[in-house]
Amino acid sequence: MEKTLTSKAHAKLVRMLIDKREAAGMTQTELANRLGEYQSFVARLESGQRRIDVVELIEIGKALGFEASEFVKTVAEPDS
């Protein structure tokens, strides 16, 4: 199994998170504030330097208005 930080699925997850944040009209700082984190936390997630665990994904989903389970299904789908 390849390292997750360098996987295509992780890159897809990161891209989707950025897209969701931007679609919500939020900056990294605004998202970080909603999560009770620093902007650098969001920056590390979005740059692919940090893995996102399931609990974090659920909280990010709440902050950005998406359902984490549906998000995971999309990430798991093979690219067409």
Domain ranges across the chain: 4-76
Dihedral sign from CA coordinates of 16, 76, 64, 36: negative
Task: Report d(CA 51, CA 60) in Å as an integer.
Answer: 13
Residue 76: other Cβ atoms inside 10 A: 10
pLDDT bucket at 4, cuts 50 / 70 / 90: confident
In this prediction, residue 1 carries a pLDDT of 58
For domain 4-76, the CATH architecture is Orthogonal Bundle (1.10)
Contact 79, 12 (CB under 8 A): yes
Q: Which helix (H) or strand (E) holds 74?
A: helix 68-76
Kindly state the percentage of the chain with pLDDT values over 90.
74
